[in-house]
Each structure stands twice: as structure tokens, then as C-alpha cells.
Amino acid sequence: MSFAVGYAWVLFLLPLAILPLLATAREANPYPSLRAAKLDPLSQGVDVVLRVLGALAIAALLLGLAGLHVKGQSIERTGEGASIVLLFDRSSSMNDTFAGQAPTRSGEESKSAAARRFLKQFVATREHDRFGITAFSTAPMFVLPLSEHKEATLAAIDAIVQPGLALTNVGKGLAMAIAMHDTDIVSTEDTDAGVANRAIVLVSDGAAVIDRKMQQKLEAAFLKRPVNLYWIFLRTEGARGIFEAPDPDKPDTPRAMPERHLNLFFQNLNIPYRAFEVENSSAVGEAIATIDKLERRPMRYRERIPQKDLSGLAYAIATGALILLVLAKLAEVRVSRPLPLRKEAQ
């Protein structure tokens, strides 16, 4: 733990804190001398305490004005888990139920709500994982970088409630998820040394055609680094599945069957890939439970501890010391002046 201040020049006033130890502001009585009086240990102790309180009040006030704080730091931790980017589809159809209609009756749950519910349970139970979140609709949306802070991750999942547009631009979403891993690898290369699993969990109820240029970009990115890819496909009732082969008389093209061809594209990437086609809420939970079992590997990471402001504590100490000094002042007893010396009898 290392301390620092925001305004170092204020510390030049700290010598003022010794003034109460050198002098007193108490009222002096006009007695010629107290040497004849018996020593009172209690009074001497109170005197010392009051002087120390005065010094403490001045020092604490100055430290508060200087902006005393504990510097931010990072702590190395070890555990079992992975660094996972949750890639969430925010197209407007995600707000429909698995039956393909808006939730109207009590107890009905949209595909988005079911996915968020199980993902939150997944995040809450993974003690050592690091999570990042991105979303996509017409364009990718950066939500939260990879971090070990579970509360921030859960809040970010809760925040993904507003529907996007109809277009599902999964290509740009994947590119952003890979870029998040790239950035994290650079920032943690001295920590995990490539030991930790890295994964992307794509949650989507559809797909769109990824043009050849974007496909090449994604192929190069996945070839550059080992990232496990999972696709939880939330299939709407009556919609085509990702494993469904077309009828012989129907076209089998990316434009006609984008979900099927996206799955084929992922399979041809030569990376660890697994797809889950789910048609109800409980199946979403089963898919995430499977990912939970697969993504467990020893990992070493650094937890970032944010800067902690101590100026409030300094002001509280100063206030307490000043209150005690005020009470001591109010408790003072005014001693009457001694009678004037009698004039010698004339």
C-alpha cells in the first residue's frame, strides 16, 4: 500500500502542526508562581492530550486539503477459469419470445431476457473469470472491457435491454470481440503469459451475410490467436436452423440461409468451435452450463485495485479532534483573580 497526495505544496504547511506542542492558547492566570502547588499528574496528562489533539487537528486538516489517497495498484491472483467476451445480439427480434411474438402474458420471457438471466447466473458463479461485453445490431457496440469486476459485468448485462435495429451485423461484432482480446493480451502479457483460456460466446437469434473482405479479416484474426468460439443460436419457432440442410430445389447460398452458412464459416476457421441451437429458455441454461464445464483452466491474472481517497477520513479525524478541543474549552473553570496585595499597614 502506497500513499500519495494530489496537492503536494500543502504539505509545506505541515510544520504548523507542532505549534500546539510548543505553546498553549489557554488563558493565563496572574499567579506569580505555581511552584509551591503540588504536582497533579492528571492535569499534566490532560495538558499533553490537549496539545496532541491540537497538533492532530492541524495535521489532519492539511492532509485532507492535500488530497491524501492510496495509490491504485494491481494484485496477482490465480484461479480456474477463462477470459470470456460475451457478444450479444441486440437486433429488435431478440425482444420477441421463442414463439416469435412480443411477450404479452405474465410469465412470458423474451429471448433476450432469457439469455441475460442465464448469463448473469453464469457470471456470478465463475469466481475467477474475466469478462468483457460487446453487443451488435447495425453496428458493433463496445460495452465493457475484459475485467475481473463481477458487479460491473452484471450491471452491463442488465443494461443490454434497449432493442437495436433489424440488421444483425455479426461480422463487425466478432471483429470487435477479437479486438477486445487483442487489447487485453497486450495489457496482461506479463501476467498470464498465454496460460488462460480465451473465449467468445456469441448469443444471437439470427445472422447476416458476412462479405468476403470481412471473412478474410476474421480468418486472419482467429488464425493469429487461439480463441474458443461458442454460438448460442436462439432459434425462433418456425425459423430455419443452423444445422438444417436446404431442400434440393432450394438455393443453398449465404443470402438464402445466412445462419447455416455462418455456422459453416465458423466450422472452417480451424479453431475450437461449438454451436448450440436452442428453442426455449431451459435449453439456453443447458448450453451455458456446457460452456461452464468446458471453460475451466488454470489461469493467472492481476486484479486492479482502484485509487482510494482518504481525504474524507482525514477531515473526520480533524473534526473529532476539534470537537474534543471545543468541549475541553467549554469545561474550563475561570479562576477568580487573587486579591490585591494588602498594603502594608501604615
User: Is the pLDDT score of 191 beyond 70?
Assistant: no
Residue labelled with grid coordinates 495535521: 59
Q: What is the mean pLDDT of residues 133-145?
A: 88
Q: Is residue 111 part of a domain?
A: yes
Is residue 251 included in any domain, yes or no?
yes
Average pLDDT, the chain: 84
| Residue 109: all three cell numbers together | 420471457
Q: Are residues 204 and 326 in the same domain?
A: no
pLDDT band at 345 (very low <50, low <70, confident <90, very high): very low
Question: Is 92 within 8 Å of 164 (Cβ atoms)?
Answer: yes
Task: Give 9's contacts (C-beta < 8 A, 6+ positions apart).
Answer: none
Is the predicted pLDDT of residue 54 greater than 90, yes or no?
Answer: yes
Say what the pLDDT of residue 346 is.
Answer: 46
Judgement on whether residues 117 and 127 belong to the same structural domain of the protein:
yes
Q: Are residues 13 and 97 in the same domain?
A: no
Strand partners, 228: 199
108 and 232, same domain (yes or no): yes
The pLDDT-based confidence of 69 (bands split at 50, 70, 90) is very high
Cell 496477482 sits on residue = 76
- Of the chain, the end-to-end C-alpha distance in Å amounts to 78
Q: Which of 267, 285, 304 is the last residue of a domain?
A: 304
**Is 35 contained in some domain?**
no
pLDDT of 208 strictly over 90? no
Do 177 and 64 lie in one domain? The reply is no
User: What pLDDT is recorded for position 203?
Assistant: 93
Regarding whether 142 and 56 lie in a shared domain, the answer is no
Considering the domain boundaries, does residue 33 fall inside one? Answer: no
Average pLDDT over residues 176-184: 89
Closest Cα partner for 7 from 62, 59, 66, 69? Answer: 66
Tell me the average pLDDT across 172-192: 80
Last residue of a domain, one of 304, 319, 339: 304
Element holding 233 (H helix, E strand)? strand 228-234
Q: How many CB atoms within 10 Å of residue 154?
A: 16
Span of 84-98, 135-149, 235-249, 327-341 with lowest mean pLDDT: 327-341
Q: How high is the pLDDT of residue 189?
A: 61
- Contact call for residues 196 and 80 (beta carbons, < 8 A): no
327 and 232 share one domain:
no
Mark residue 108 as left, alpha or beta (left: phi above 0; alpha: psi -120 to 50; beta: remaining).
beta
On whether both 145 and 172 belong to a single domain, the answer is yes
Please, are residues 178 and 200 in contact by the beta-carbon 8 Å criterion? yes
- pTM value is 0.68
Tell me whether residue 8 is in a domain. yes
Asked whether residue 55 falls in the same domain as residue 19, the answer is yes
pLDDT of residue 138: 80
Q: What is the structure's pLDDT at 192? A: 53
Say whether both 64 and 134 belong to one domain.
Answer: no
Count the domains in the chain.
2
Q: What is the pLDDT of residue 194?
A: 52
130 and 218 both lie in a single domain: yes
Domain for residue 342, yes or no? no
Domain CATH for 283: 3.40.50.410
Assess contact for 165 and 137: CB atoms under 8 A. yes
Residue 127 within any structural domain of the chain = yes
pLDDT score recorded for residue 341: 53
Summarize the confidence of residues 233-249 as an average pLDDT. 84
46 and 152, same domain (yes or no): no
Mean pLDDT throughout 322-328?
93
Domain that holds residue 8: 3-24+41-72+306-331
State which H helix or E strand residue 135 sits in: strand 130-136
Mean pLDDT across 215-240: 88
Q: Considering only 30-44, 66-80, 140-154, 188-202, which range has the smallest mean pLDDT?
A: 188-202
Q: Which single residue is written with the C-alpha cell 492532509? A: 63
Determine, yes or no, domain membership for 340.
no
Cell of 310: 482518504
